[in-house]
Structure 1
């Protein structure tokens, strides 16, 4: 996308982060997280939920700070599945 000068939208990052989660690719997931911050999507619920899922599946659960009831529910659900 960057090579084509395309700007990501609110659905770009959840898809990218979920792909990193499925591959347990923490490095690429962190890069996607950083880009989500750069483009101002850090408070988007779908981005936040994908990040919670990715960090928990990659064993980085303590890094997560939940700010929303739905995020907290997803966090608990993911923790129960992975532990």
Structure 2
């Protein structure tokens, strides 16, 4: 079983509980999702491809060795204060 499948399986029950607890929020999200993917200025396929590209680029940027993450609270090397 892949990690993604495992996570999805673990979140299934809590997701159902949350959906039962706040059905109006889930209905609102569904309406927003459906409206966003509705054909209009862009067809549904193009909209889905753009959403996929955004999701992939966010993940790639976060894990990219080109833009390494600094520990929280540290400044870029050019802005660090000299050590005493």
The question of a shared fold, defined as TM-score above 0.5 by the shorter chain, is answered with no
| TM-score, normalised by the number of residues in structure 2 | 0.28
Structure index of larger Rg: 2
| TM-score, normalised by the number of residues in structure 1 | 0.29
